[in-house]
Amino acid sequence: MNDLGTFIAANHLHQISGGSTILLAVLTMTSGFVLASNGRRPTLRTVHKGLAYAAALLGAVTVGLGATAFHDRVHEVWPHLLFMVLAELGLLLTAFVLKPGSVPHRVAGAASVVSLVTGLVIIIVLTAK
């Protein structure tokens, strides 16, 4: 492991940013549900968009931190990596590509949160001692 990877692992930066990404994604989804039930809330729409952008961008940072710190363990954690990359692709599509409020937007957002939680459960199971 290189010095930067050692620093990231020793300070749990990947885990902290990953947990923060999951929290942001869940808050984004929750605000989206509220927004869908009453779309006449411009402040909530702004909050929802901000949370979505933050989740997508922090997710990308998290993937980068994980790749830097744990690139030598991909053969052990590939199921976690698979679900996290799928989740990140969904977050990026939802935040930057798909039409807000559309069915594909809602499905991709929900699928991203499910993928994030699945990836978290997988890494907990894989690293349990």
How much is the pTM? 0.87
Q: Which domain holds residue 66?
A: 3-127
Which tokens go with 97? Answer: 């590509």
**∠ CA(94), CA(100), CA(101), 5° rounding?**
110
CATH code, domain with 78: 1.20.120
Whole-number Å distance between alpha carbons of 39 and 17: 30
User: What are the phi and psi torsion angles at 25 (to 5°)?
Assistant: -65, -40
Which tokens go with 113? Answer: 């949160």
Count of domains forming the chain: 1
- 100, 32, 36, 98: CA torsion to nearest 10: 20
Q: What is the pLDDT tens value at each position of the chain, 129 positions in all?
A: 678 989 999 999 999 999 999 999 999 999 988 888 876 778 888 999 999 999 999 999 999 999 999 889 989 999 999 999 999 999 999 988 999 889 999 999 999 999 999 999 999 999 886
